[in-house]
Amino acid sequence: MSDVNKTIQKWHASFRKGTDFDSWGQLVEAIDEYQILARQLQKEVQSTNSSEFTEEQKKTLGKIATCLEMRSASLQCTQSKEDFKLEELKKLETIIQNILTYNKEFPFDVQPVPLRKILAPGEEENLELEEEEEEDAAAGAGSTEAFPPRAPGTLLPRLPSEPGMTLLTLKIEKIGLKDAGQCIDPYMTISVKDLNGVDVNPMQDTPVASRKEDTYIHFSVDVEIQRHVEKLPKGAAIFFEFKHYKPKKRFTSTKCFAFMEMDEIKPGPMVIELYKKPTDFKRKKLQLLTKKQLYLHLHQTLHKDS
């Protein structure tokens, strides 16, 4: 079997896995699978290497990724006006299977996600050096400004409660940055990593921030940690990566990151320090972003089912 056929087979298996979870009512697992597959398809669409797919086939893959994200958004927001049903999504299965020969009109009027380069952690560093001075020069105090409405992020619902177990909700209130007013489409990626930097939970992205004001970008969004506190591995940490879009380079960049460790889990407000990129998930070589009094502001809520 050729490499391209193996890739298609892998995509099809992931699609079936997601729709199976969806039909069984395992929504957290379905959302996770849909988002993983959507990212894989987007990566193929954005690949500039010698590709096995034509531009028309890439466009179709991009539309499938959009539909996966729409279904994921529908599962996360039961009040969504643009509900994308499981039955509709299942119509795409044969298109994925036969992507190399598919030549009909796409069944839904959707567009591929706008082209934004997806980079591995650290890969963006080489592309950004020349922009750092420009950003510092352009950084101002910022102004009070609301962001236009954007598609929802990839936040997951709270897990079902279990007797004697504790769930953690983290409200991301705001982040302080000297150039807050210059950040385009800012959002946070939240992940839980063990001591080796390996994911413990599915990663989650917040929606784009609600507004920016002076040196603050406001999120005011709840993040449900996808594991009971008692089941989190010893030495794990919750990471918050602040990301924003760079139109000149056409990619989304990590600007800085923060983290909290397990012994910091307690109800109430907290502020945590910001560190320079690249994100150091092993917490070995940490460099503060700034000496100024600028932090990530959080509020923790613990839910215990007695």
Q: pLDDT per residue over 177-226, tens digit each?
A: 998 888 888 999 999 999 888 888 888 999 999 898 889 999 999 999 99
> Which residues of the chain have a pLDDT value below 50?
80-81, 116-152
Residue 282, domain CATH: 2.60.40.150
Same domain as 176, residue 67: no
Buried-exposed string 194-227: b where 16+ CB fall within 10 A, e elsewhere: beebeebbbbbbbbbbeebeebbbbbebebbbbb
Tokens of residue 63, six digits: 């539309």
Model's pTM, two decimal places?
Answer: 0.56
Number of structural domains found in the chain? 2
Asked if the structure places residue 253 within a domain, the reply is yes
Asked which of 101, 116, 142 is the last residue of a domain, the reply is 101
Which residue shows structure tokens 């089941």?
Answer: 231
- Residue 229, amino acid: V
Asked which of 61, 80, 101 is the last residue of a domain, the reply is 101
Rounded to whole angstroms, the Cα distance separating 179 from 94 reads 47
Which sign does the torsion angle of CA 44, 49, 50, 55 carry? positive
Q: Which domain holds residue 289?
A: 165-305
User: Which one, of 80, 77, 71, 79, lies nearest residue 18 by Cα?
Assistant: 71
Beta strand pairing status for 204-205 and 184-193? antiparallel
Same domain as 298, residue 180: yes
Same domain as 169, residue 97: no
Residue 40, domain CATH: 1.20.120.360
Tokens of residue 140, six digits: 């101002």
Ramachandran category for residue 156: left, alpha or beta (phi over 0 → left; psi -120 to 50 → alpha) = beta
For the chain, the average pLDDT equals 83
Asked if the structure places residue 13 within a domain, the reply is yes
Ramachandran category for residue 283: left, alpha or beta (phi over 0 → left; psi -120 to 50 → alpha) = left
Rounded to whole angstroms, the Cα distance separating 50 from 12 reads 22
- pLDDT value, residue 293: 87
Asked which of 59, 76, 101 is the last residue of a domain, the reply is 101
- pLDDT value, residue 134: 42
Asked if the structure places residue 169 within a domain, the reply is yes
Q: What is the DSSP string of 239-294?
A: EEEEEEEETTTTEEEEEEEEEEEGGG--SEEEEE--EESSP-TT-SS--BS-SSS-
